[in-house]
Amino acid sequence: MRDKINDILLESIRVKEDLLREKIGKIIEISQAAIEALKKGGKILIFGNGGSASDSQHIAAELVGRFKKERPGIPAIALTTNTSILTALANDYSYDIVFARQVEALGQKNDLAIGISTSGKAKNVNSGIKQAKKMGIKTVALTGADGGELAKSADIALIVNSPVTARIQEAHITIGHIICELIEEALC
């Protein structure tokens, strides 16, 4: 067990070292897009499936509540939380449109849409990003592996350099925390 734990921790460190070496520019670009959207009166729409749904909710909670500073709430919505909407859309239409339809209903031009998918292959996340682009909303993809279709669809794509879902998710929440901190510093 000790060796396995050691290997997992070293792998996680390697992925984060890659973020440090290769991805700071993308994190800045995403943070600037979020800050610009918020300064224009927009909000952040965040969505993904499974662990990425949890990350969406976590990031939205940090912004609406607080991250490190006492401050007014920052408008952010995780499109993963309303089970009535999710199940109605999946039942009446298709699971592929559960985020696109919410973006259509809730999104506005000055918003920022962030789609999270570890593989970049989630059809519903990609559909949500495409709907946002159709509406003139700036889009961000947080993904991993080769980025999949999602990385090609978004205005800004940050691809975590790992094929391992757990390591990608660990990197995504680190990136989310960095973005939250930079937003707080810029706006508060």
What's the structural domain count of the chain?
1
Domain that includes residue 105, residue range:
2-187
The predicted-structure confidence for 14-70, as pLDDT tens digits, reads as follows: 999 999 999 999 999 999 999 999 999 999 999 999 999 999 999 999 999 999 999
User: Residue 110: which pLDDT band, with cuts at 50, 70 and 90?
Assistant: very high
CATH code of the domain covering residue 162 = 3.40.50.10490
Mean pLDDT of the chain: 97
Q: Which residues of 59-69 are buried (b: 16+ CB within 10 A; e: fewer)?
A: bbebbeebbee
Residue 181's pLDDT is 98
